[in-house]
Amino acid sequence: MLPNELVHLKEQGRPITILTAWDSISAAIVEEAGADVVLVGDSLGMVVLGHSSTLPVTIEQLIHHTQAVGRGLSKPQANRPLVICDMPFLSYQCGEDQAVEAAGSLIKNSCATGVKIEGGEPEIIKIISRLVRMGIPVMGHLGLTPQSVNCLGYKQQAKDEQSQEKLLSQAFELENAGCFSIVIEHVPSKIADTLQKQLKLPIIGIGAGLKCDGQVRVTADLLGLSKKQPPFSKPLIDGKQLFINTLKSWIDQQKNHE
């Protein structure tokens, strides 16, 4: 699937599902479960690498993990989920040339077909437009943007009318710059609903209510494996306890020579 085909899914009213993966095992599970898109998110930094934010993640780490994700996918190319990779903090904020180089190296050295970039400020819009013109598909990301944690925290965004208008206008800018979809994180469902109705490109929500064109989740959150569970992403199972119990019973068997 090509990124632009997500727009057709929106037109058909077929909900889009996106799950994160960080290595070949998680990629194989997410592919087998049937996700449309595998996101190699920079949540990797918190979920897998144990950092307290996504800020320390590097482009080299994302290339390394996206390569592992590629090795985990096994369906024929035509039936594989689309792989999108996050551009980490400081890989695109320093200017268009650096952004093209960083995004290009992700695409060139891994199975990623496109990249995801946070924010909708004028500088970011210019960078996105350049990347798209250079043939690199871009997914936008508005609302709670974890790379801005030191300015915004992890709080819900766009709560008042003024910030909702700003979000709406940034979303239109992203559409005009050529993004193929936008992730919208931790905002009131009312604004996600408005975006879904007014934009042609798919709106993918996380903590943004149900009226989006699709949903994205950090796989470790859904499986109950994350150290810190976001309030808007409830686990479906207590995976950590399940794994502990399973391993504990193996260890007990060994100790008892069973």
Q: Please give the Cα distance from 123 to 143 (Å, whole number).
A: 17
Min dist CB 206 to ligand KIV, Å, is 5
All residues at 6 or more sequence positions from 182 whose CB lies less than 8 Å from its CB, including other chains: 139, 140, 141, 142, 171, 174, 175, 195, 199, 201, 202, 203, 204
Is residue 218 part of the contact set for ligand KIV (CB under 6 A)? yes
Of 35-43, 59-67, 122-130, 153-161, the segment contacting ligand KIV by CB under 6 A is 35-43
Query: For residue 169, what are its two tokens?
Result: 């206008």
- Residues 173-212: x/- map of binding to ligand KIV (CB under 6 A)? ----------x----------------------x------
Min dist CB 216 to ligand KIV, Å, is 5
Of 1-9, 38-46, 68-76, 155-163, the segment contacting ligand KIV by CB under 6 A is 38-46
Contact assessment for residue 57 and residue 79, using Cβ atoms and an 8 Å cutoff? no
Q: Is 219 helix (H, G, I), strand (E, B) or coil?
A: helix
Instruction: Tell me whether residue 26 or residue 164 sits nearer to ligand KIV (CB atom).
Output: 26
How many binding residues for ligand KIV (CB under 6 A)?
A: 10
Contact assessment for residue 138 and residue 178, using Cβ atoms and an 8 Å cutoff? yes
Question: For the chain, how far is it from start to end, CA to CA, in angstroms?
Answer: 49
CA angle at residue 252 from 226 to 228, to 5 degrees? 10
- Residues 79-108: x/- map of binding to ligand KIV (CB under 6 A)? -------x----------------------
Of 4-12, 36-44, 102-110, 190-198, the segment contacting ligand KIV by CB under 6 A is 36-44
| H/E segment holding residue 221 | helix 219-222
Instruction: Tell me whether residue 210 or residue 247 sits nearer to ligand KIV (CB atom).
Output: 210
Instruction: Tell me whether residue 218 or residue 223 sits nearer to ligand KIV (CB atom).
Output: 218
Q: Is the dihedral of CA 176, 180, 183, 189 positive or negative?
A: positive
Q: Please give the Cα distance from 252 to 258 (Å, whole number).
A: 9
Instruction: Tell me whether residue 125 or residue 206 sits nearer to ligand KIV (CB atom).
Output: 206
Query: For residue 68, what are its two tokens?
Result: 């592992």
Is residue 42 part of the contact set for ligand KIV (CB under 6 A)? yes
Is residue 43 part of the contact set for ligand KIV (CB under 6 A)? yes
Instruction: Tell me whether residue 136 or residue 220 sits nearer to ligand KIV (CB atom).
Output: 220
The bridge status of strand 16-20 relative to strand 214-217 is parallel
Q: Which residues are catalytic?
A: 185
Binding site for ligand KIV (CB under 6 A): 20, 39, 41-43, 86, 183, 206, 216, 218
